[in-house]
Amino acid sequence: MDKRISRKDEHIQLALGHPDIEVSDFDSIDLIHQSLPECDVKDVKLNTRINSINLNTPIYINAMTGGSKWAQEINEKLAIVARETDSAMAVGSMHAALKSNQLKETYSVVRNIYKGPLFSNVGADVPLEFAKRAVDFLQADALQIHVNAPQELIMPEGNRIFSNWLSHIESIVNEIDVPIIVKEVGFGMSRETMLKLKSVGVTTIDVSGSGGTNFIHIENERRTLKEFSYMKGWGQTTAISLLESKGTGLEVLASGGIRNPLDALKCMVLGAQAVGISRPILLKVENEGIEDAIKYINDFKEHLIILLTMSGKTCIQDLTSINYILKGDVWSWYQQRNENMGWNT
């Protein structure tokens, strides 16, 4: 079996067996309850926008896989789930399709089934021409550029050249017409990173913080000696990354460790326009079936409507006005970063 195909299947297997996270930084954010909501359930709308793309729900199926027969089967299921729940969807890294015509169908199956908002996905290491092909191939509505240096460095066959990433991102932003989303892969983003991206024209980011699927863990499990287990805590959580984004002027998406609708609500209170979910949906489609995955997302949306009503808000755009308290390590991080960096947010 081709090494790239084998790696794709190993990633799926390890993601399915990834340990669940029970304790989260989201638990260190308390929303202030208001006893008089002054709105009705029927008035609550979940529509939002990512750049110029209108979404009917703030929950989207984030990038997972592609590039193998198993990945194609999963992408087919995910596309059906996206279609039936009216959720935007991102495909996994498309490097395999860009290098092998035989693997293109493992991604194109999504567009054949799902006609809604779809995001292509490439790494920051690819040149402009590859990025253009990724968008054109799927007739994508947006392009995710993933930045995954820790994963590459722990991956035995991973990339070792990172000095050209920012210039690649800049050229893609300048030359491709669809919205560009620069996305982490589970290690979160610092404000310094966000401002560098903004300086080259990036307007939308997915902070994809730690707390969910950990690609250091996954790549370390693929190593014979598993010698990088001590690095499992590397990176910033999604909650911390959202706090880091305040005052940057960037449009922010959140993903990484979203356990339930309350976590998603907290992301949007902290400024996220939409929230991406990956592994929980993967577990549903693979272990329980398409119908259960559809029910999971539909229930998620219904719970969000309940939570918005409890908060006295009728739209996603108003959630940032909800008051909250930061506790423990999250409050300590936020306080120290503001003091040490001279931020006033």
- Tell me whether residue 194 is annotated as binding: no
CA-to-CA distance for 185 and 189, rounded, in angstroms? Answer: 10
CA-to-CA distance for 215 and 18, rounded, in angstroms? Answer: 10
| pLDDT score recorded for residue 227 | 97
Q: Give 3's pLDDT tier (boundaries 50, 70, 90).
A: confident
| Average pLDDT estimate for 67-73 | 97
Torsion of CA 213, 298, 290, 109, to 10 degrees: -80
CA-to-CA distance for 254 and 207, rounded, in angstroms? Answer: 6
Q: Which residues on neighbouring strands pair with residue 183, listed in sequence order? A: 146, 206
- Tell me whether residue 68 is annotated as binding: no
For residue 256, give every residue at least 6 positions away whose Cβ sits within 8 Å of its Cβ, in sequence order, or none.
184, 186, 188, 207, 208, 209, 210, 211, 212, 213, 237, 238, 241
- Tell me whether residue 121 is annotated as binding: yes
Report whether 188 contacts 212 (CB < 8 A): no
| pLDDT score recorded for residue 116 | 99
Of 315, 321, 269, 268, nearest in space to 44 by CA: 315
Question: Do you know the residue count of the chain?
Answer: 345
Q: Which residues on neighbouring strands pair with residue 60, listed in sequence order? A: 276
| Average pLDDT estimate for 300-307 | 99
Average pLDDT, the chain: 96
- Tell me whether residue 95 is annotated as binding: yes
Rounded to 5 degrees, φ, ψ at 328 are 55, -135
| pLDDT score recorded for residue 1 | 53
Dump pLDDT digits (tens) for 120-169.
999 999 999 999 999 999 999 999 999 999 999 999 999 999 999 999 99
- Tell me whether residue 278 is annotated as binding: yes
CA angle 88, 310, 34 (to 5 degrees): 135
- Tell me whether residue 152 is annotated as binding: yes
CA-to-CA distance for 43 and 70, rounded, in angstroms? Answer: 42
- Tell me whether residue 7 is annotated as binding: yes
| pLDDT score recorded for residue 208 | 99
- Tell me whether residue 94 is annotated as binding: yes
Report whether 118 contacts 83 (CB < 8 A): no
Q: Which residues on neighbouring strands pair with residue 144, listed in sequence order? A: 121, 181
For residue 57, give every residue at least 6 positions away whose Cβ sits within 8 Å of its Cβ, in sequence order, or none.
46, 47, 48, 85, 86, 87, 301
| Average pLDDT estimate for 45-72 | 98
Dump pLDDT digits (tens) for 189-241.
999 999 999 999 999 999 999 999 999 999 999 999 999 999 989 999 999 99
| pLDDT score recorded for residue 22 | 74
| pLDDT score recorded for residue 343 | 72
Taken in order 130, 133, 134, 135, is the CA torsion positive or negative?
positive
- Tell me whether residue 93 is annotated as binding: yes
- Show me where the domains of the chain are located: 3-341
- Tell me whether residue 306 is annotated as binding: no
Q: Is the pLDDT of residue 344 over 70?
A: no
Of 29, 52, 17, nearest in space to 282 by CA: 17
Report whether 68 contacts 97 (CB < 8 A): no
- Tell me whether residue 89 is annotated as binding: no
Q: Is the pLDDT of residue 342 over 80?
A: no
Residue 225 CA neighbour count, 13 Å, CB half = 5
pTM over the 0.85 mark:
yes
Report whether 207 contacts 184 (CB < 8 A): yes
Q: Give 20's pLDDT tier (boundaries 50, 70, 90).
A: confident
Dump pLDDT digits (tens) for 239-269.
999 999 999 999 999 999 999 999 999 999 9
Q: Give 345's pLDDT tier (boundaries 50, 70, 90).
A: low
- Tell me whether residue 151 is annotated as binding: yes
- Tell me whether residue 213 is annotated as binding: yes
CATH number, domain 3-341, options 3.40.710.10, 3.20.20.70, 3.40.50.450, 1.10.580.10: 3.20.20.70
For residue 309, CA distances in Å to 45, 68, 145 come to 10, 43, 35
Quick one: angle between helices 328-341 and 238-245, nearest 10? 30
| pLDDT score recorded for residue 16 | 94
- Tell me whether residue 64 is annotated as binding: yes
